[in-house]
Structure 1
Amino acid sequence: MLNDLSKFRIFALMLVLSTFAFTGCKDDDDDLPIPLPKTKVYELESVADPNIEGTATFVRLDERTTSITILLTGTPTGGRHPAHIHANTAAEGGPIVISLEPVNGTTGISTTIVQTTDAGTRVTYEDLLRFDGHVNVHLSQDQLDVIVAQGDIGQNELTGKSKQYALNEKDVPGISGSVLFEERKNGEALATIKLQNTPEGGIHPAHIHKNSAKEGGDIVFTFNPVNGSTGMSMTNVAKLDNGTPFGYKDVLRYDGYVNVHLSETQLNVIVAQGDIGKNAD
């Protein structure tokens, strides 16, 4: 992802080893090898600023203690960027659960020792790797609504499996793109719609419908609307609008299609459309 990512990971490993050596050193006459602590690295993608991205490294120090180190590139010198672990996926958003040390803009680094949530609930390394959450790094304390880097963690981590479907031009010439479904560790999916040539400032509702596009059918799943200025929409896929469980594997075998509409008041105007699941095979 990053040109400097390998350097970051080497640096993170050095931090891990130095911390472990300090907290777990043995007598000189003990020849037994010292096991490396458990480590998990999550990617933090750019959001508001395409130049800022990096990683969050979780290290198990002991059965009660986890070290979390954020390493970013592209942060402005002198900046101070609040960071938190939030509940839910990044696509859904959620409240702050664990406050992390702010990222130093000059170094791009933040390290936090974690034993509990902000509410005082004990949380272990293993708990964090199962957690339904995401990490946000914000522009400043006064601008928490501006997220400079973000990444899903725990059960929301992506497995690397994905399926992309074409969204073809329909009623508005020149608008087309794709919808990408990526599998999460918990079986849910991240859906990313990307369209070209959407009008600046537009808000375009998007849905999964029953049946093939040729047949037509009712809405069964509602995506977050496509932002016309970026042409993008990101949505967590876990259940249909009626509450029926609906994850990554369900998408791949579903009898359905995707419509992206011109606006909430003009749902009859379809700007892009494409079959998914078994209809696209």
Structure 2
Amino acid sequence: MKTFKYFFLFIALTVITSCTEDDAPEVVTQVDSRLFTIASYNNSGIFGSANFIKNSNNTVTIQINVVGTTDAVLYPAHIHFNTAAESGAIAVSLESVNGTTGQSETTFSTLDDGTPISYEALLDYDGHFVIHQSETNNAIVAQSDIGQNELTTNTVTYPLNQVDLTDASGSITFTERVNGEALAEINLTGSPAGGINPAHIHAGSVATAPGAILFTFTSVDGTSGISRTNVDALNDGTPFGYNDILSIDGYVNVHLSATNLGFLIAQGNIGAN
């Protein structure tokens, strides 16, 4: 009889132990992380950081921490394809930022379309990070380039001088990306409000103008005086990155309009000139 007792006791303990092991939650630990800066957009006053975390179970967690948000407002956040200057469709939908805390946390292992994505792939991703105004207002309040599009500290600025429009001048700044491409930012004061002002890199120098158009920027918004363009190739398809900008025999023109290219708002030599 004792033998049967011990046998049933053994079976009961085995079942309990087995259930305990099966029910134990997986312990997920942080293996690595990378912090990206989130910059304010259009003077929203919202900025902070996004921490990309590699987890031991091959998932990725993104923790957003920003300041300048409004209590009780939810701010949708996504990773988009391409650079911020180019814009692009949504690649990964993240948990909305809680305006009261300025925080959000999302864990995932695939893009929205089901494509697997790893921590390492995100660090080399051709994408950018965006936070929107609200669930009913898609305006961008904060953004940053990530992965291979991340901006480095290498930058060069050239003056853009007044030409045909009184008191219109500014500058163009090129910033190198991790992948060797560049972000070009034109900032003008005195540009015509409401206008759309084409801008190009031309061959040669201001002294030898006019020169052929080599590269076309995103047109300058006359009201804000701003243009942002990703620079990776000339108009003819020739690769053209940050280091090429430093040595190009060229100059920049900002024109009044597509129908009046002869009227120059601002102009300046770049590169070797």
- Supply the distance in 2 between the matched residues of 1:207 and 1:89 (Cα, whole angstroms): 20
Gaps of 5+ in 1: 1-21, 25-35
Aligned counterparts of 1:54 and 1:238: Cα–Cα separation in 2: 28
RMSD: 1.2
Which structure would you say has the larger Rg?
A: 2
Work out the CA distance in 1 between the residues paired with 2:64 and 2:108.
Answer: 13
> For the residues of structure 2 that align with 1:152 and 1:220, how far apart are their CA atoms?
26
Deviates more, 1:42-51 or 1:129-138: 42-51
Equivalent position of 1:198 in the other structure? 191
Equivalent residue for 2:272? 278
Q: In the alignment, residue 23 of structure 1 is paired with which amino acid?
A: V
Q: Which residue of 1 aligns with 2:208?
A: 215
Equivalent residue for 1:240, pick from 234, 238, 243? 234
Asked whether the 8 Å contact 2:128–2:145 carries over to 1, the reply is yes
For residues 111 and 179 of structure 1, what CA distance do their matches in structure 2 show? 37
2:234 is the counterpart of 1:229: no
Instruction: Quote the offset at 1:128 in angstroms.
Output: 0.2
Question: Cα distance, 1:49 vs. partner?
Answer: 4.3
Question: Residues 271 and 198 from structure 1, CA distance in 2 versus in 1: closer, same or farther, beyond 3 angstroms?
Answer: same
Summarize the alignment of residues 32-43 of structure 1 with structure 2, pairs less than 5 Å apart. 37-43=31-37
Aligned residues, how many? 246
Pick from 119, 125, 135 the counterpart of residue 119 of structure 2.
125
SS at the partner of 2:120? Answer: helix
Do 1:64 and 1:123's aligned partners in 2 also have CA atoms closer than 8 Å? no
Work out whether 1:113 is the aligned partner of 2:107.
yes
Q: Give SS of 2:218's match.
A: coil
- Take 1:261 and 1:278, find their aligned partners in 2: how far apart are those partners? 22
User: Structure 1 residue aligned with 2:38, among 35, 39, 44?
Assistant: 44
How much has 1:219 moved relative to structure 2?
0.7
Whether 1:74 aligns to 2:68 is: yes
2:28–2:57 Cα contact (<8 Å) kept: no
Contiguous gaps of at least 5 residues in structure 2: 1-26
CA distance in 2, matches of 1:238, 1:141: 34
Structure 1 residues 118-140: Cα deviation after superposition (integer angstroms, max 9, x where no partner): 11111111000000000111112
Distance 2:242 2:158 in 1: 13
Deviation of residue 150 (structure 1)? 0.5
Amino acid at match of 1:205: P
Contact 1:63 1:125 in 2 (8 A): no
User: Superposed, which structure 2 residues align to 1:229-268 within 5 Å?
Assistant: 229-268=223-262
User: How many percent identity over aligned positions?
Assistant: 50
Are residues 234 and 240 of structure 1, via their aligned partners in 2, closer, same or farther at CA, if it must alter by over 3 Å? same
Query: Quick one: distance in 1 between partners of 2:110 and 2:83?
Result: 20
Letter in 2 for 1:268: G
Residue type at the aligned position of 2:41: V
Structure 1 pair 63–272 and aligned structure 2 pair: CA distance change class (3 A): farther
- From 62, 74, 87, give the equivalent of 2:56: 62
In the TM superposition, what is the alpha-carbon distance from 1:249 to its structure 2 partner? 0.5
* TM-score where L is the length of structure 2: 0.87
The answer on whether the counterparts of 2:168 and 2:189 sit within 8 Å (CA) in structure 1 is yes
Q: CA deviation at 1:23?
A: 2.4
